[in-house]
Amino acid sequence: MRRLLLLRHAKSSWDDPALSDHARPLNSRGRKAAAAVAQLFHRLNLAPDLVLVSSARRTLQTLEALSPLPGQPRIEATDSLYLATPDTMLEAIRLVPEETHCVLMIGHNPGMHELAMKLLGRPALEDPQGDVHRLGEGYPTAALAEFTVEGAWDRLSAGGGRLVRFVTPADLAD
């Protein structure tokens, strides 16, 4: 069984209107939330073999806040994941080498939320409970959806994931 971790970047700053969207950094709330997610990764021993991350500053800073991740994963920062559509993200996952057991993708909304909903598929959505219901309501910054995936990465399609958990920064608050 493979594991797919979908993490939306932590809260970013809008303080400098001269910065491009791609260059916006995390704000203090975002840094705090990313640190809480890092603790979650260690507590649950979430150890990705591969990290696919958008090249935007806020996604890279989110990844940096998670470091060191258990297992020292290979990291691929790509421009194609910046504000990517769910289909673009799904295609990136389909290109993951077969020997990879756990993938962490760090990206942006609305694509991240749409991809998570697409992976759930119709049967899960017909009986929304708990985390499935919460995921359907939205995908806040620094939220993590953990899926199990059966079969090969290159065959992943709509409905191909089973939601294990959906965790938001509010769930991690002291």
Q: Provide the β-strand partners of residue 76.
A: 52
Instruction: Look at residue 7 in the predicted model and tell me its pLDDT.
Output: 98
pLDDT tens, position by position, 7-61? 999 999 999 989 999 999 999 999 999 999 999 999 999 999 999 999 999 999 9
Asked whether 53 and 77 are in contact (CB, 8 A), the reply is yes
Kindly report the pTM of this predicted structure: 0.94
pLDDT tens, position by position, 138-164? 999 999 999 999 999 999 999 999 999
Provide the token pair at 48. 């990705």
Q: How many CA atoms lie within 13 A of 119 on its CB side?
A: 32
Domains and CATH numbers, the chain: 1-169 (3.40.50.1240)
**Which H, E and C letters describe the chain, residue by residue?**
CEEEEEEECCCECCCCCCCCHHHCCECHHHHHHHHHHHHHHHHCCCCCCEEEEECCHHHHHHHHHHCCCCCCCEEEEEHHHCCCCHHHHHHHHHCCCCCCCEEEEEECCCHHHHHHHHHHHHHHHHCCCHHHHHHHHCCCCCCEEEEEECCCHHHCCCCCEEEEEEECHHHHCC
Instruction: Look at residue 40 in the predicted model and tell me its pLDDT.
Output: 95
Instruction: Look at residue 51 in the predicted model and tell me its pLDDT.
Output: 98
Instruction: Look at residue 69 in the predicted model and tell me its pLDDT.
Output: 87
Instruction: Look at residue 131 in the predicted model and tell me its pLDDT.
Output: 87
pLDDT at 128 over 80: no
pLDDT tens, position by position, 70-119? 878 999 999 999 999 999 999 999 999 999 999 999 999 999 999 999 99
Interior angle at CA 134, CA 137 and CA 101, nearest 5: 115
User: Can you tell me which residue has the tokens 């295609």?
Assistant: 91
